[in-house]
């Protein structure tokens, strides 16, 4: 097994929690300490969100907007903790959907589906420190 040469270290911040990251980049293109997703543009300075249309999301009509001010392009990095938490949340959400179906539009006290999703919300809030 050949050893990888370290190319360089870069400093970034987790987009989710803001934790500082020191990422090691290697010659073959892989990296260590963090998860890279892509780049994204964020609004900066003065501007407004201008409505440019509508779309349907999960059966609901929502406005489509465009930022009128300046934008800054940033790299989207997540720390290992945030990535792991999101992975576990996704796994649990997919399992609940498989077992109980999607969430009901209106909460009904005796509904097993509503109760299961209520427990899911409690778990997520607890893990995110909201409880």
pLDDT per residue as tens, the chain (131 positions): 556 576 899 999 999 999 999 999 998 888 999 999 999 999 999 999 999 999 987 778 899 999 999 999 999 999 999 999 889 889 999 999 999 999 888 888 889 999 999 999 898 888 777 66
Identify the pLDDT of residue 50: 94
Identify the pLDDT of residue 57: 79
Contact predicate 21/30, CB 8 Å: no
First-to-last C-alpha distance (Å) of the chain: 47
Strand bridging mode 20-26 / 6-13:
antiparallel
Identify the pLDDT of residue 125: 86
């Amino acid at each position: 097994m050949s050893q990888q040469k370290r190319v360089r270290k870069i400093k970034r911040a987790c987009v989710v929690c803001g934790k500082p990251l020191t990422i090691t980049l290697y010659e073959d293109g892989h990296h260590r300490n963090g998860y890279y997703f892509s780049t994204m543009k964020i609004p900066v300075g003065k501007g407004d969100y201008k409505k440019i249309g509508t779309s349907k999301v999960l059966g609901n009509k929502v406005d489509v907007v465009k930022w009128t001010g300046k934008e800054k392009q940033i790299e989207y990095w997540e720390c290992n903790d945030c990535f792991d938490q999101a992975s576990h949340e996704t796994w649990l959400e997919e399992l609940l959907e498989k077992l109980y179906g999607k969430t009901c539009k209106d909460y009904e006290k005796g509904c097993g589906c509503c109760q299961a999703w209520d427990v899911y919300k409690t778990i997520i809030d607890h893990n995110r420190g909201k409880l």
